[in-house]
Amino acid sequence: MSGLQLSRRHLLIGSGATATLAFLSSRLEYAAAAASNPFTLGVASGDPLSDRAILWTRLAVDPFSTASPGGMGTAPVDVAWEVAKDATFATVVRSGTVTTTAAGGYAAHVDATGLAAGTAYYYRFHAKSGTTTYTSPVGITRTAPAPGTKPASLKFVTASCARYDQGYYHAYQAMADDHPDLVVFLGDYIYEYPTETGAIRPLKGVPSITGPDSRGSAYIDTLVEYRIRHAEHKTDKQLQAAHRAAPWIVVYDDHEVRNNWYAENTADDPITRKAAAFQAWYENMPVRVAAPPGDGTIQSYRRVPWGTLARFDMLDTRQYRDKQAEAKACTVIDDAGRTLVGKTQEKWLLDGFADRTPQWNLIGQQVIFSPKQNSTNHCDVNTDAWDGYRPERDAVANGWVAAGVRNPVVLTGDVHRHFAANVCRTSDLTDPIGAELITSSISSTGIRGTEGDPNISASPNVLYGKNWRGYVRATVTASSLTADFRCVDDVDKTSYADVRVFTDKTFVVEDGARRLTEA
């Protein structure tokens, strides 16, 4: 709502501290650069705890500007924020200001504290552009239940792989329409590629991207380019709707940097490229993560508890991994010295299994965890997935068995297909010790709607596979986890009204069963 003037009540901090009424008028030096609506990228929230949540926005009057981040100039810009119990903001419970800078991409990460547990809230931002004060769209966030309490249920959706030029984001709109408590995003929020020939919707940002990478093509690899690519995605109204609908828990996969990158700094993935990619990812995500230090690293794995009902252990399967093995390289695949998650993160995960507080251990990560063979040759596997690091996969699964984890469920993206699988040890694909829900892509290309995957027959633990675009919707209670594989029949069509959204298959994990059964 452009032109809204902030009242004194809107600027009161917390329960009545002195308002900083002068802040909007004190930042006039950027008025020439910011002369229109700065909330073009929407709002988001994420990583909720029982008394707080991260609130996010990033100012951009021109999302495609190469001169400055979001076309905002170079001077600091103050942003006011509010959290309320109602959509009209008649009862504001927390508010304050945050200063955004060019160095930080004009991103705001507000840790809104002092909130009540297990409660839904509304939030919004205000910022001045030129002589006008603008108000952002309103988002809904939610705090986790209080420690030691068990909510009756948790409804969340998982999503991944949203290549902008390969389709419209109808699955994001469907997710918003489902009104989940949480969105768990499992990676590939953007892609580093240039617009493909015959793109459904060409990338507007590509003409502003200069300089090929070492491949000799216009792959993005600088901070300016990663910022623009994130901004282009954020301008999508269906994605904005999904962010406004619920708090997100976000991890990255490979395409936020480059396809199939790994720990080693290579010619394709130098420190400078990783540093740029991590900085842009941090600026554009509502995450409770420290800003990256600029050395090509970031600390992103973390836990999000949901009372005693569930806990999300969110992993990083890219930054610490050894290089992927060549196809069918059994000796390398079975080398116990190789790692996918790094020894420090593996210990963190295994140590966490000793905490028996959560009834459901939900492990959010990027690549297929379950054994999945492409043929009867047990080394004919996807070496980018956990199948390429089998000893470590078995160590993690054996770890949760040894710790007595009652309900381990792995949440996965990456492969642009829906799969439902039972987690088994490498040596026995008929003895389930966990469940895995693998979501298809939001838009990234797969063979639309064809039945199954020809490789399922070689893996008796993989119960279902489909090539629709879509997401997984899960409802968790004390007695079961129910997973609906949600599908969108066409991402080529512009209008959401012209597509069909449906549940193709439903699976259930009964409490203590450690396996999926078809509903």
Same domain, 383 and 235: yes
Residues 64 and 209 in one domain: no
- Domain of 373, CATH number, reads 3.60.21.70
Asked if residue 233 and residue 121 are part of one domain, the reply reads no
Q: Is residue 2 part of a domain?
A: no
Q: What H or E segment, with its residue span, contains residue 279?
A: helix 271-284
229 with 364, same domain: the answer is yes
**pLDDT above 70 covers what percent of the chain?**
89
210 domain-assigned: yes
Domain boundary among 80, 114, 142: 142
Contacts of 447 (CB under 8 A, 6+ apart): 467
Instruction: Summarize the confidence of residues 496-516 as an average pLDDT.
Output: 98
Closest Cα partner for 83 from 96, 102, 66?
96
The string of pLDDT tens digits covering residues 303-344 is 999 999 999 999 999 999 999 999 999 999 999 999 999 999
CA distance linking residue 100 with residue 128, whole number of Å = 12
Q: Are residues 134 and 164 in the same domain?
A: no
Token duo for residue 88: 């009209």
Amino acid at site 326: E
- Mapped onto helix, strand or coil, the DSSP state of residue 241 is helix
Residue 433 lies inside a defined structural domain of this protein: yes
Does some domain include residue 494? Answer: yes
Q: How many domains does the chain have?
A: 2
Are 106 and 231 part of one and the same domain? no
Same domain, yes or no: 403 and 339: yes
Q: Is residue 3 part of a domain?
A: no
Same domain, 252 and 360: yes
Taking the C-alpha atoms of residue 80 and residue 335, their distance in angstroms, rounded to an integer, is: 53
Whether pTM > 0.85 for this model: the answer is yes
Torsion over CA of 318, 323, 326 and 329, rounded to 10 degrees? -100
What are the CA-CA distances from residue 141 to residues 78, 81, 119 (Å)? 22, 13, 8
What is the CB neighbour count within 10 angstroms for residue 39? 24
pLDDT, tens digit (0-9, with 9 covering 90-100), for 374-392:
888 999 999 999 999 999 9
Q: Is residue 273 part of a domain?
A: yes
Give residue 140's Cα distance to chain centre. 17
Same-domain pairing of 137 and 170: no
Q: Is residue 264 part of a domain?
A: yes
Helix (H, G, I), strand (E, B) or coil at 388: helix
Q: Which domain holds residue 398?
A: 154-518
Torsion from C-alpha of 385, 391, 393, 395, nearest 10 degrees: -170
26-78 pLDDT tens trace: 333 333 344 599 999 999 999 999 999 999 999 999 999 999 999 999 999 99
At residue 83, the pLDDT reads 99
Asked if residues 222 and 212 have their Cβ atoms less than 8 Å apart, the reply is no
Residue 64's CATH number: 2.60.40.380
Same domain? For 357 and 447 the reply is: yes
Percent with pLDDT over 90 in the chain: 83
Question: Residue 286 phi/psi, 5° resolution?
Answer: -85, 70
Asked whether residue 195 carries a pLDDT value surpassing 90, the answer given is no
Query: What gap in Å lies between CA 15 and CA 223, rounded to an integer?
Result: 39
CA distance 188 to 166: 13
If we measure between CA atoms, which residue out of 480, 448, 483, 446 comes closest to residue 463?
Answer: 483
Helix (H, G, I), strand (E, B) or coil at 251: coil
Residues 222 and 76 in one domain: no
Residue 147 lies in a domain: no
pLDDT in tens, 220-236: 999 999 999 999 999 99
